């Protein structure tokens, strides 16, 4: 923990107190954010491919819908598993409290899952007619629009956690969208394989590289300047500085998710190597879990009272 | 009516009578608390002093816990109390994450959120909260903040200039005040929690809600 300037007269030590609660939101919540990023990110990427590289995009309609469906279900499953009273989940729909991001998120995620199920069905029905699938594409537009609040609501939820100063609303929103673009493009590179043209892969690589760069800049800005804004942020960041308990995981995440993939993408463009691009994609997906986990856990280590 | 608390830290002697009374009155399970008295030792030997701070829910006027609760299990009563309906709670722990004062716990027996309710059940029967009754030095002052002639309002008036709330920067507008508080007593980041320094209890953290 950070040691403020201690004067002899104000040196203070807690000598009798109750035990404080440990981690409130554990890795289940990391899983929630990670899976949701991929589930919404692949939808964004399919939408992009169908506009920029329709030849590649149209071959991936069904696969993308299935991938999004699977990851959104993982997200919902872990959200449910994290509840201490999972069988009361229905209370959200019958006693909704509209100031809560959890309520709003539950409703839009449910609507999203419904539309996604329909998208899987339409993708499956149109599997053999590669050329056009108008109904699918029209629905995809609405699914893409809905994917934006689905991916953003967690940022709203984090910002409603008044106790956790580290999570500020504008930067968390940006990080959620960037995580979706990063993991969506990475997953699409792996999912598409040879169905993607070289140009389509290049586009996905650019999205991956740029979202990694922007996300990295935001984290580094917090890392360097955060401590100057608020005492609680300064204390929280100590957990990822020096020999803090999450320093290694933080930097491992930053290198795996952002720094190495950015370098690999540049290399893959100059060497036209598919393997290097795939390696960048795998690293980004795995690393994102670590990045999200560290950011979730460190503000929970602070004593609140 | 707007019920509120005030603790005069000049009077508190750390007897923990309030803590025990709360445990008994509300059958607060082991490993959890609604109200506790924290001891912080200040200074450098031999110039040291022990401080005592009773800590409970602040019944914030702008309560983050109420705002984040997806099912309104946390709700305001007409008298200003932030109350909880344990039957409604789904155990999402959003409130635990939102409360800047660490005042909410997950009850290991019911796996639902719980916290100090200012003894809402006793208030409904025109009784004082159990902790107020138990305090031998009347350090806990409880009453209606809307009534200028109530004890708590008068106390605030008389001690103007020395009345504090915890973390005012959070904008929660607590209905819980301290007289004679300072950075060490009210700011948890102003003191160290060093393993092995606690008088009787060597455990610094416990899993939330037992082993969920
Ligand atoms: S102190 Fe915490 S639990 Fe109590 S009303 Fe305020 S935010 Fe809610
Ligand atoms: S744990 Fe219960 S009381 Fe707390 S926010 Fe969730 S549903 Fe509401």
Q: Could you tell me the pLDDT band of residue B209, with boundaries at 50, 70 and 90?
A: confident
pLDDT digits (tens, 9 = 90+) for A37-74: 999 999 999 999 999 999 999 999 999 999 999 999 99
Taking an 8 Å cut-off on Cβ atoms, the answer to whether B99 and A22 are in contact is: no
Taking an 8 Å cut-off on Cβ atoms, the answer to whether A15 and B189 are in contact is: no
Residues of A in contact with B105 (CB under 8 A): 21
Q: Mutate which of B84, B95, B99, B178 to test ligand 1's pocket (most atoms within 8 Å of Cβ)? A: B99
State the ligand closest to the CA atom of B167: 1
Nearest to B203 among A16, A19, A96 (CB): A19
Distance CA A190, CA A204 (A): 11
Say yes or no to pLDDT of B60 above 90: yes
State the ligand closest to the CA atom of B166: 1
Residue nearest to atom 4 of ligand 1 (CA): B57
Residues of B in contact with A231 (CB under 8 A): 189
Put simply, whether B118 touches A (Cβ < 8 Å) is no
Say yes or no to pLDDT of A278 above 80: yes
Taking an 8 Å cut-off on Cβ atoms, the answer to whether A14 and B106 are in contact is: no
Which residues 6+ apart lie within 8 Å of B5 measured at CB?
Answer: B56, B59, B118, B140, B141, B142, B152, B175, B176, B177
Q: Could you tell me the pLDDT band of residue A1, with boundaries at 50, 70 and 90?
A: very low
Residue A182 within a domain? yes
For residues B204 and B186, the answer to whether their CB atoms sit within 8 Å is no
Report how far apart, in Å, the C-alpha atoms of A179 and of each of A96, A271, A287, B70 are.
Answer: 29, 26, 11, 25
Taking an 8 Å cut-off on Cβ atoms, the answer to whether B67 and A160 are in contact is: yes
* B90 CA: distance to closest CA in chain A (Å): 5
- Kindly state the percentage of chain B with pLDDT values over 90: 90
Q: Which two tokens stand for residue A12?
A: 């203070």
Closest CA to B63 of B107, B118, B8: B118
Identify which has the larger pLDDT, B204 or A95: A95
- Evaluated on CA atoms A226, A229, A234, A235, the torsion sign reads negative
Distance CA A141, CA A241 (A): 43
**What mean pLDDT is reported for chain B?**
95
Give the pLDDT score at B202: 77
* Residue B144, Cβ density class (10 Å: 0-12 exposed, 13-18 middle, ≥19 buried): middle
Distance CA A41, CA B186 (A): 44
Q: Could you tell me the pLDDT band of residue A75, with boundaries at 50, 70 and 90?
A: very high
Residues within 6 Å of ligand 2 by CB: B 68-71, 73-74, 84, 89-95, 112-113
Say yes or no to pLDDT of A187 above 50: yes
Residue A56 within a domain? yes
Say yes or no to pLDDT of A4 above 60: no
Q: State the average pLDDT over residues B193-199.
A: 80
Give the pLDDT score at A154: 97
Closest CA to B206 of B19, B31, B39, B33: B31
Give the pLDDT score at B203: 79
* Long-range Cβ contacts of A274-277 (<8 Å, 24+ apart): A274/A201, A277/A189, A277/A201, A277/A205
Q: Could you tell me the pLDDT band of residue B211, with boundaries at 50, 70 and 90?
A: low
Say yes or no to pLDDT of A131 above 70: no
Say yes or no to pLDDT of A130 above 80: no
Say yes or no to pLDDT of A128 above 80: no
Closest CA to A34 of A181, A180, A234, A241: A180
Q: State the average pLDDT over residues A107-112.
A: 98
pLDDT digits (tens, 9 = 90+) for A221-238: 999 999 998 999 999 999
Domain total for chain A? Answer: 1
Taking an 8 Å cut-off on Cβ atoms, the answer to whether A162 and B172 are in contact is: yes
Q: State the average pLDDT over residues B150-155.
A: 97
CA of B29 to the centre of ligand 2 (A): 18
* Residue B190, Cβ density class (10 Å: 0-12 exposed, 13-18 middle, ≥19 buried): middle
Q: Could you tell me the pLDDT band of residue B186, with boundaries at 50, 70 and 90?
A: very high
Owning domain of residue A128: 24-301
Residue A239 within a domain? yes
Residue A4 within a domain? no
Closest CA to A17 of B167, B39, B28, B31: B39
Q: State the average pLDDT over residues A174-196.
A: 97
Residue A5 within a domain? no
Say yes or no to pLDDT of B212 above 80: no
Residue A104 within a domain? yes
**What mean pLDDT is reported for chain A?**
95
CATH of the domain at A83: 1.20.1630.10
Which residues 6+ apart lie within 8 Å of B157 measured at CB?
Answer: none
Give the pLDDT score at B205: 85
Which residues between 128 and 167 in chain B have a beta carbon less than 8 angstroms from any beta carbon of chain A?
166
């Amino acid at each position: 923990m950070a040691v403020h300037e201690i004067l002899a007269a104000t040196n203070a030590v807690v000598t009798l107190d109750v035990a404080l609660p440990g981690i409130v939101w554990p890795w289940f919540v990391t899983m929630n954010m990670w899976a949701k990023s991929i589930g919404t990110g692949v939808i964004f990427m399919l939408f992009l491919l169908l506009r920029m590289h329709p030849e590649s995009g149209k071959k991936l309609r069904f696969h993308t819908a299935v991938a999004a469906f699977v990851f959104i279900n993982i997200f919902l499953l872990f959200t449910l598993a994290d509840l201490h009273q999972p069988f009361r989940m229905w209370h959200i729909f019958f006693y909704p409290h509209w100031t809560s991001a959890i309520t709003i998120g539950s409703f839009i995620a449910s609507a999203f899952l419904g539309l996604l199920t329909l998208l899987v069905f339409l993708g499956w029905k149109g599997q053999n007619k590669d050329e056009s699938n108008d109904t699918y594409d029209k629905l995809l537009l609405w699914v893409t629009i809905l994917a934006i609040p689905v991916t953003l609501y967690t940022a709203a939820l984090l910002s409603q956690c008044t106790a956790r100063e580290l999570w500020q609303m504008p930067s968390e929103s940006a990080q959620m969208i960037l995580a979706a673009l990063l993991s969506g493009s990475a997953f699409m590179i792996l999912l598409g394989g040879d169905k993607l043209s070289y140009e389509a892969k290049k586009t996905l690589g650019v999205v991956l590289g740029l979202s990694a760069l922007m996300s990295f800049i935001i984290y580094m800005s917090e890392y360097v300047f955060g401590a100057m804004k608020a005492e609680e942020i300064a204390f929280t960041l100590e957990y990822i500085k020096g020999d803090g308990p999450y320093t290694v995981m933080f930097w491992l995440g930053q290198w795996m998710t952002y720094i190495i993939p950015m370098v690999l993408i540049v290399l893959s463009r100059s060497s036209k190597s598919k393997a290097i691009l795939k390696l960048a994609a795998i690293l980004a997906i795995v690393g994102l879990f670590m990045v999200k986990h560290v950011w979730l856990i460190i503000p929970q280590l602070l004593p609140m009272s | 009516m707007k019920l509120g608390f005030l603790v005069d830290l000049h009077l508190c002697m750390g007897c923990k009578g309030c803590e025990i009374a709360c445990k008994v009155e509300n059958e607060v399970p082991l490993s959890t608390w609604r109200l506790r008295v924290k001891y912080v030792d200040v200074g450098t030997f031999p110039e040291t002093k022990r401080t005592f701070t009773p800590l409970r829910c602040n019944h914030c006027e702008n309560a983050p816990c109420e705002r984040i609760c997806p099912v309104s299990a946390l709700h305001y009563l007409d008298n200003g109390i932030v109350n909880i309906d344990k039957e409604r709670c789904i155990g999402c722990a959003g409130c635990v994450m939102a409360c800047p004062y660490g005042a909410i716990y997950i009850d290991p027996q019911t796996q639902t959120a719980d916290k100090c309710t200012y003894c809402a059940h006793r208030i409904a029967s025109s009784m004082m909260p159990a902790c107020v009754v138990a305090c031998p030095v009347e350090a806990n002052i409880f009453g209606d903040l809307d009534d200028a002639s109530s004890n708590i309002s008068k106390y605030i008036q008389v001690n103007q200039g020395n009345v504090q709330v915890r973390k005012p920067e959070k904008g929660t507008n607590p209905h819980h005040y301290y007289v004679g508080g300072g950075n060490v007593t009210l700011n948890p980041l102003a003191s160290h929690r060093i393993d092995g320094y606690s008088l009787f209890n060597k455990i610094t953290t416990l899993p939330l809600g037992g082993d969920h």
